[in-house]
């Protein structure tokens, strides 16, 4: 049995972004473009009061979420990536871009939308469960939580996208804090939408 892997460090991401400004081709990849379109299309409300995006990277999805939120807090562990995000969102005063490591530095404010896109598998299972509880605790009743993750396994990553989503699905059903509203699986990613009971 393999040893559980630790959460990836900020240095890991700074090194990746230091070597390539857009290492996952967020700005150019048809996969990313189509996935972002599906992500935004999955949001049931036209406008949210207070959104929280965990793992905003260089701000490509952030830019699209900004049009759907009166206020949006977007965070990442990599200051190198955040420099690009701040430039990209310079014309969106409703967006705050902050360097935070979740779950250690979870913001103490309520949200009616939380988006976790391509970040959950960077956590250890222990940190994923801590972050999950914090998300549930800070999500307003009727607030929505959207998860989107690449599903093929990546050797560097502590978890797979499926492990992340299954961990949240365990919090649905009778007596649980989340309701599962929508799920879809594409060739290389899955998307699940939850609502706080």
**CA angle in degrees (0–180, nearest 5) for 60-130-44:** 45
Q: What residues contact residue 47 under an 8 Å CB cut-off, 6+ apart? A: 68, 69, 70
The per-residue pLDDT for range 150-172, each reduced to its tens digit, is: 999 999 999 999 999 999 999 99
The per-residue pLDDT for range 132-154, each reduced to its tens digit, is: 999 999 999 999 999 999 999 99
Determine the topology of domain 10-196 in CATH.
Rossmann fold (3.40.50)
Encoded tokens for 18: 């230091």
Q: What pTM did the predictor assign?
A: 0.95
Domain boundaries, the chain: 10-196
Encoded tokens for 146: 């959207």
pLDDT score of 2:
54
Phi, psi of 127 (to 5 degrees): -70, -35
């Amino acid at each position: 049995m393999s040893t559980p892997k630790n959460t990836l460090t900020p240095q890991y991401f700074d090194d990746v972004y230091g070597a390539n400004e857009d290492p996952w081709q967020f700005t150019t990849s048809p996969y990313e473009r189509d996935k972002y379109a599906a992500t935004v299309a999955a949001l049931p409300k036209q406008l949210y009061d207070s959104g929280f995006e965990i793992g905003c990277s260089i701000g490509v999805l952030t830019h699209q979420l900004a049009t759907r939120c009166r206020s949006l807090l977007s965070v990442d562990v990599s200051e190198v990536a955040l420099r690009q995000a701040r430039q990209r969102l310079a014309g969106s005063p409703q967006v705050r871009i902050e360097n935070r490591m979740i779950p250690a530095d979870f913001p103490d404010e309520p949200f009616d939308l939380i988006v976790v896109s391509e970040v959950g598998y960077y956590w250890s299972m222990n940190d994923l469960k801590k972050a999950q509880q914090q998300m549930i605790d800070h999500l307003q009743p009727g607030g929505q939580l959207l998860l989107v993750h690449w599903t093929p396994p990546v050797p560097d990553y502590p978890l797979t996208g499926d492990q992340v989503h299954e961990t949240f699905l365990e919090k649905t059903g009778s007596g649980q804090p989340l309701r599962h509203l929508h799920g879809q699986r594409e060739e290389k990613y899955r998307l699940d939408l939850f609502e706080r009971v």
